[in-house]
């Protein structure tokens, strides 16, 4: 298994695609990391470690393991820090690598939920380039999973305190962020055409922290919703904007759906 994994990794890093992939993620060619591993092994040998130098051109088992480990570590560090546009240039898209982006979202969500954590970094040196604003910026909107297509939608009414709006409707990378009645963060997108027409006409009374009452739909469970879509913004800072969609409209959009109880408390009761 180890030799098979090494063969696949080595073949990939020696290909034009692999070289571009590694260079795009780590800013260095695979040969650079091979030299780093070789230098480390030489230092170990000079330092008196009990190891025999590999014979011929074939790297030894330790070199193979270290090369694979350093490639994975450097690629992971770059993936956690890079913007979506940068990753897309080397073929890392949210559709092809959905689980990786989902894990990255969970990592930064954990950072958000740690109030004392002001910034993070991924190098040995004490440098912390990603501040708390970056924790939200590096979370991305994910496409639905294939099996989500068959999962019924749940709909309901909720009241949210908007802590991080996104007034650029064309920006599909960053979602709106708010807190529900129990202070739990919710990420969502707004699909309400009437709401966006009011935004464009600058007819909303915007506060530092806006309170919105919405009709939304989501997958998952009421206490752990995912793929949240705001169908209608019913109220914005206590100003009534529109009424909710009726059953006919919901059926036309989703086909199969189920309603949750209205009201913030019942919608998110554990």
Pick the closest to residue 63 from 73, 78, 52 (CA basis).
Answer: 52
Rg of the Cα atoms in the chain: 24
Strands 210-221 and 153-164 turn out to be: antiparallel
Highest mean pLDDT among 95-109, 234-248, 249-263: 234-248
Q: Check if the beta carbon of residue 190 is closer than 8 Å to that of residue 233.
A: yes
The answer to whether the pTM exceeds 0.75 is no
β strands within 34-140, DSSP E: 119-120, 130-131
CB neighbour list of residue 226: distance below 8 Å, 6 or more residues apart:
218, 219, 220
Is 213's pLDDT higher than 60?
yes
How far is residue 127's CA from residue 124's CA, in Å, rounded to a whole number?
Answer: 8
Say which range, 43-47, 112-116, 217-221, has the weakest mean pLDDT: 43-47
How far is residue 74's CA from residue 25's CA, in Å, rounded to a whole number?
Answer: 8
Highest mean pLDDT among 24-38, 134-148, 176-190: 176-190
Say which range, 60-69, 92-101, 128-137, 242-251, has the weakest mean pLDDT: 60-69
Q: What is the pLDDT of residue 241?
A: 96
Is 6's pLDDT higher than 50?
no
Terminal CA-to-CA distance of the chain, rounded, Å?
Answer: 44
pLDDT interval class at 71 (50, 70, 90): low
Q: Check if the beta carbon of residue 174 is closer than 8 Å to that of residue 166.
A: yes
Pick the closest to residue 173 from 113, 252, 87 (CA basis).
Answer: 87
CB crowding 48-85: b at 16 or more within 10 Å, else e: eeeeeeeeeeebeeebbebbbebbeebbeebbbbbebe
Q: Check if the beta carbon of residue 171 is closer than 8 Å to that of residue 137.
A: no
pLDDT interval class at 267 (50, 70, 90): very low
57 Cα distance to chain centroid: 41
pLDDT interval class at 230 (50, 70, 90): very high
CB neighbour list of residue 176: distance below 8 Å, 6 or more residues apart:
162, 164, 165, 166, 187, 188, 189, 190, 230
Q: Which is more confidently placed, 24 or 256?
A: 256
What domains, with CATH codes, occur in the chain? 2-89 (no CATH), 98-137 (no CATH), 146-267 (2.40.50)
- pLDDT tens digits for 21-35? 565 556 565 555 455
């Amino acid at each position: 298994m180890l030799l098979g994994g090494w063969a696949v990794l080595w073949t990939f890093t020696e290909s034009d695609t692999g070289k571009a992939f590694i260079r795009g993620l780590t800013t260095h060619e695979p040969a650079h990391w091979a030299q780093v591993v070789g230098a480390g092994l030489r230092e170990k040998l000079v330092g008196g470690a009990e190891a025999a130098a590999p014979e011929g051109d074939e790297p030894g088992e330790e070199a193979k393991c270290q090369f694979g480990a350093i490639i994975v570590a450097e690629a992971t560090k770059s993936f956690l820090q890079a913007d979506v546009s940068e990753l897309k240039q080397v073929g890392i898209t949210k559709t092809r690598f959905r689980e990786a982006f989902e894990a990255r979202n969970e990592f930064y969500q954990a950072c958000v939920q740690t109030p004392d954590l002001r910034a993070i970094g991924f190098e040995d040196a004490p440098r912390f380039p990603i501040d708390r604003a970056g924790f939200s910026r590096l979370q991305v909107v994910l496409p639905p999973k294939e099996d989500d297509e068959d999962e019924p939608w749940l709909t309901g009414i909720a009241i949210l305190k908007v802590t991080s709006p996104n007034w650029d409707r064309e920006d599909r990378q960053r979602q709106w962020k708010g807190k529900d009645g129990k202070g739990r963060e919710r990420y969502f997108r707004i699909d309400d055409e009437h709401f966006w027409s009011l935004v464009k006409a600058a007819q909303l009374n915007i506060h530092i922290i806006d309170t919105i009452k919405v009709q939304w739909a989501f997958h998952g469970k009421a206490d752990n919703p995912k793929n949240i879509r705001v169908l209608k913004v019913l109220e914005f800072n206590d100003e009534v904007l529109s009424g909710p969609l009726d059953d006919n409209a919901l059926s036309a959009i989703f086909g199969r759906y189920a309603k949750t109880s209205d009201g913030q408390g019942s919608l998110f009761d554990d």
